[in-house]
Structure 1
Amino acid sequence: MNEGLRWIVRPERAGEAAAVRSVHAAAFPGSAQPDLVDELRAGPAWIPGLSLVAAAPDGTLAGHVALVRCLVDGATALVLTRCAVLPGRRGAGCGTALLEAALDAARARGENLVLAPEPAEHHQRSGFVPASRYRVGPPCAGADETVAALALDPARPVPGGTIAYPAAFGVPDEGLRAAPGELFAYGSLQFPEVLRPLLGRVPESRPAALPGWRAAELADRLYPGLVPAAGDSAPGRLLTGLTVRERELLDAFEDDEYHLRRLPLAGGRAAWTYVWRCGDVRDGTWSADAFRARHLADFTARCGLTG
């Protein structure tokens, strides 16, 4: 059915975000990949001219890929999103056409270093090599061979160092524990009554807010879940000076329904936080004041954090 198709590869147009999401939803199981693309599109790493779609001759969108901004030790670079192709359109060169067009578009803009966090065979055919050959590595040590890199202009110098991915990408938990630092707390971890028995002390903190997210009420739970919310902002506190051991204790306190992400706070500073990744999300926004007045004492007793 796809044999002999000539793909029309072009920049994504205004109003096509929903169609692009549908392609990713069909190409990958679950909502993580389409959610990632939507989050990238709403953030500062998105480059409109480097979000490309592939259309069949009848105009139907069949594939999508984007190059978004990242940094390598402060120097600008690009990182590829996963290439999404509709299941019924695979095996006809759509992914290769998208990749080559994206690289050509980046080259035309004067870009040089391009990274592929999940390289496939077509990346190798296009000249990608292990990023370690350029002395480029991911935030998590020991995973360098899983990242591929391509210099669009081999005559230009390539920056070496650690990759800083867009906040929407997140990184594996191992990397977070290696750099504990700061944590944005928006729920029960804001309260000294929870932190002191959990950590043996109350870390220094200051007010902070996370734009584009909200602390949502969860069904049958006293605590909230952090979920994306365009135009909203989640208030909380930025905990500072956390040790590796303290981060391990906090990770153990939170359950598997959360995962750690590094997100930009109001003002541009990034911090780790626990993002809700399950269902049972209510329309209401969780209130720290209401929690303190009605539930804090019962919550600490249930969690064994009293005495």
Structure 2
Amino acid sequence: MNIFTYGTLSIPGVMLAVTGREFKTIKAVAADHMAYVLRDKKYPGLVAEAEGIAAGLIHVDVDQETLAVLDAFEDEIYERREMNVTTLNDVLVKVAAYVVPLNNRELLSDRLWDEDAFVTYELEAYLENCKRFRDAYLIKQEAPA
């Protein structure tokens, strides 16, 4: 499955810290969507918005095990949905993306996602949190049911 990321998971090193894996990526955009920072958080949510455009990456051929890790990692306000994005070569690609449904729109601020600012001010601490998540996830997976 191809996964479209538009926020922290598009930053080099974050996908690896969360999943222990890296994938081939392709730059793409999601038309009629925008990425806004969540209220009281440092990371964004993708929401449908007419005439909007959100840049991101397609992670190619993400396996089911990694998808399960991403499902556990993503905040409960997101829904994984199938959608189409367009590569920079104008190719339409079917992907899954973690989006904020319109009924959760009030959880987003009016501040657009700024990857450069996040990398400058938040990335180091965020990567540590991602590594802690992964360690806890692995322990939980190894625990007897």
- TM bucket (normalised to shorter chain) is 0.7 to 0.9
Q: Determine the structure 2 residue equivalent to 1:290.
A: 117
* Counterpart AA for 2:30: L
Deviations 1:123-163 (A, max 9, x none): xxxxxxxxxxxxxxxxxxxxxxxxxxxxxxxxxxxxxxxxx
Select the residue among 219, 228, 236 that pairs with 2:39.
Answer: 219
* Counterpart AA for 1:195: M
TM-score (norm 1): 0.39
Select the residue among 212, 230, 247 that pairs with 2:50.
Answer: 230
Select the residue among 3, 11, 14 that pairs with 1:194.
Answer: 14
Q: Structure 2 stretches of 5 or more lacking a match?
A: 136-145
Q: Structure 1 stretches of 5 or more lacking a match?
A: 1-180
In structure 2, distance between residues paired with 1:299 and 1:283: 22
Q: Determine the structure 1 residue equivalent to 2:66.
A: 246
Q: Determine the structure 1 residue equivalent to 2:140.
A: none
Per chain length, whose mean CA-contact separation is higher, i.e. which structure has more relative contact order (CA < 8 Å, sep 6+)?
Answer: 2
Q: Determine the structure 2 residue equivalent to 1:37.
A: none
Q: How many residue pairs are counted as aligned between the two chains?
A: 127
Moved more, 186-195 or 236-245: 186-195
Deviations 1:215-260 (A, max 9, x none): 1111110110111111110000000121110100110101211001
TM-score (norm 2): 0.80
What is the 5 A alignment of 1:196-211?
A: 196-211=16-31
Select the residue among 268, 271, 275 that pairs with 2:99.
Answer: 275
Match of 1:252, SS? helix
Task: Provide the aligned C-alpha RMSD in A.
Answer: 1.8
In structure 1, distance between residues paired with 2:33 and 2:54: 6
Q: After the TM superposition, list the runs of 4 or more consecutive aligned residues in structure 1 that deviate by more than 6 angstroms.
A: none
In structure 1, distance between residues paired with 2:52 and 2:13: 28
> Whose radius of gyration is greater, 1 or 2?
1
In structure 2, distance between residues paired with 1:218 and 1:257: 10
